[in-house]
Every structure is written in C-alpha cells, then in structure tokens.
Amino acid sequence: MIVFSRLIHGNAYGFSKILNRESVNLNSYKYKFLPGGLFLLSLKKAVWILCSVFLLSFCILLGGIFHFKHYVQSPASLFPNTVIFPVPKGATFKTVTARLVSAGIITHPLYFELLARMAKKRGLLKAGEYSLDTGMTPVRILEILTEGRSIQFPLTVPEGFSLGDIAVRLEKVGMGSADEFLKVVRNRKQLDRYGISSDSFEGYLFPDTYLFERGTTEAEIMERMADYFVRKVKTEEILREVEESGLTFHEVVTLASLIEKETAVAREKNLVSGVFHNRLKRGMLLQCDPTVIYAMKNFDGNIRKKDLKIDSPYNTYRTKGLPPGPIANSGFDSIKAALNPAKNSFLYFVSKKDGSHHFSKSLREHNQAVRKYQLNRRR
C-alpha cells in the first residue's frame, strides 16, 4: 500500500509539472497534446463547429424543401407534348416512374417517389392507357395514374344488333377478338349467373354506347352490357307487366327482338307487337322475315322462296309460335311494345320501302298492299 501510494503521488507530481510547464490556454485555438496521444479541443471551437454543421444542415434541408415544392408544381417541360402512356397490369411504381422519366414526362424520380409516399398513393396505380402531357405537373400526373383517368374507347351497340354483329364491331374497333367474344357469350357459367336458360346472351345485352379502357377483356365487355340490361329491364315495373302478360320473361325478350328487327319506327312498334300477339292467339305462323335471316348462315340481302323452307326452329315460316330465343338485342321501346301490344285486328303488315309499314286485317287487303308497295315498285 505504501508503494502504491508513492507511485500515485509521484505520477501526480510529474503530471502537475507538465501542466505548469505547458499550461492549457482555453482562450487559444491550439491543440495541446497530452502524453498517450490525447488532445484537448477548444470548447469554443467545438461549439462553433457544431453550430456550423447545424446551420449548414438547416440550409440544405430548407433548400431541399423549396426545391421539392417547386418540383411538384412545375412541369417537366415548358413546351407541352402529349404522350400516350400505357400502364400494364401488375407494373410496379418503380418501373412506371422509370418509364415516365424516359418518356420525358417527369424529372427527378426520387422526388416523384417522395411525392407518392407523402400522398399515400404509391400503391394505388391503375392499369390502363393514359394521355399524359409533358406540360403537366407531377401532382397532376400522380392524380391521373392513381385515380384511373385512362383513355376511354367507345363501343356503340345499336338496337337490333345480334351477338355476331357485336363481335364484328368489337374486333373492328380494336377492342378484342370476335371469336373470343362469341365464346364468352355462350359460357354456361356466365349464363347461369344471370339466370338465362337459353344457350347464349342473345337478347340480353343492352344496346348503347359504352366506354372501355384499352385492355378490357371480352368477358368484362359482355358483363358490362349484361349488367346494364338487368338495370334497365329487370325492374319491378317490367317484371310486374311480364307477369300480367301471360308470357315468360324469356318470351317477352324474344318477342321484343322480332319487333326490333321488323321496324325502327317508334310509333309502329306497338302495332307490330299487336300483329304478333293476334297471330299467336290464333295459332298462326308469325312469318317474320328477320327470323329466316337469323337462321340463314349467309345472308346476301335477299330472301328467296327456298330460304323460307330452311329447317330451323328459328324459321317462323315453318315453326309455330315464337322462336326458341331472341334473334337480336332490343332497345327498351321494343321491350315495352312486346308487353303493350296495340289493341286492333291487324294480322299482316308490309314494308312501304320508306321505313314504315302498311297494316292489314285480311289476306286480301295485305296482297293488295304487297302489289302496291313491293311488286309495282320493282317494275
């Protein structure tokens, strides 16, 4: 203990001498080295360095904030240029951002990423084809891509179009494959889902102009039209009228398709409906030309006598009653007409070649009208 005490005392004495000889001046900015490689740093200098680092960091942060704010509110170019920009299904945000930069639509991908994270929209990209502009701000671009404001392509389905007509139109406008569409509209699971007993959606797709995004499948297109049919036609009012008519819903839709194909004149639809109802009640053949055309594989614009003998359940010149299903997709007016036939004794009608028809109560009167409006005009 005595030895250890002396050692400590001796070292302390030697250390004090060093300090006396090379005293530390706290007001100077010099480093004073101690034995063992230690050094003392001026407290004032330490404070000054810390303040400088803090001030520099603050300036950098403030500059970054102002630069980011300017970025999100500024377009990539002062010269707007429209770019059609597709976003495939399953594309990641990083991939889409890289493509936006390559297309010159945005700059600074890291800022765009930060913007998306701050807005909590990074995972909300919607697939589709978009019309973007280099004059748009990043905020606007992010809104468009995450809210699904993609380009909408119109598909017009006129009243009276058959499934085959719709398939051809769909392929012609580049919305899908005609063959694939015809497969979809005969899918048994889909038919059961909509409660349709027939072998296709013929008559159950509502005619209208629809807007679809690029990449919409044939099944999705069919479902949109079928859903609209349900909303427009399967209402409480229509279903009540169907029940009162003595016909099934399928029969009403079928009859409506015959009316739709026979006349496009709104004021005549109830008259045509009346003729068909009268003939059905009397057990007469409907003799509806459009059913023969529907049964024909290739129609060249003319119906010949031999065509009237086609062996098909759709040929109402041979088969009594309504055909097994609709021959076209009807508009709402034709469906209403099928449920509300005109109260008259008409059994025949013939085209007057101007879009309208002449209605007759007897075969004799009908033959006279045929000679007047059909045979005489051919001479």
CB distance 214 to 86 below 8 Å = yes
- The reply to whether 175 falls in a domain is yes
DSSP 153-204: EEEE--TT--HHHHHHHHHHTTSS-HHHHHHHTT-HHHHHHTT--SSS-TT-
- The reply to whether 292 falls in a domain is yes
In the chain, beta strands by DSSP E: 32-33, 39-40, 82-87, 128-133, 152-156, 209-213, 348-351, 357-360
One domain for residues 221 and 269: no
Cα 286 to chain center, whole Å? 41
One domain for residues 143 and 162: no
User: Which tokens in the block code for residue 330?
Assistant: 């009807």
- The reply to whether 8 falls in a domain is no
Total domain count, the chain:
3
Q: How many CB atoms lie within 10 A of CB 77?
A: 14
Q: How many CB atoms lie within 10 A of CB 182?
A: 17
pTM of structure: 0.75
One domain for residues 129 and 171: no
- The reply to whether 76 falls in a domain is no
One domain for residues 292 and 322: yes
One domain for residues 86 and 130: yes
Rounded to an integer, what distance in angstroms lies between the CA atom of residue 211 and that of residue 363? 47
User: Which tokens in the block code for residue 289?
Assistant: 């030309």
- Confidence (pLDDT) at 193: 95
- The reply to whether 369 falls in a domain is no
One domain for residues 143 and 178: no
Q: Which domain holds residue 185?
A: 156-233
One domain for residues 179 and 203: yes
- Confidence (pLDDT) at 28: 45
Rounded to an integer, what distance in angstroms lies between the CA atom of residue 301 and that of residue 304? 10
Rounded to an integer, what distance in angstroms lies between the CA atom of residue 305 and that of residue 231? 41
One domain for residues 160 and 140: no
CB distance 273 to 265 below 8 Å = no
Cα 147 to chain center, whole Å? 12
- The reply to whether 90 falls in a domain is yes
One domain for residues 161 and 143: no
- The reply to whether 205 falls in a domain is yes
Burial (Cβ within 10 Å: 0-12, 13-18, ≥19) of residue 249: middle
One domain for residues 162 and 223: yes
One domain for residues 134 and 162: no
- Confidence (pLDDT) at 4: 38
- The reply to whether 60 falls in a domain is no
Low-confidence residues of the chain: pLDDT under 50: 1-40, 378-379
Give the end of a domain, one of 122, 147, 172.
Answer: 147
One domain for residues 162 and 133: no
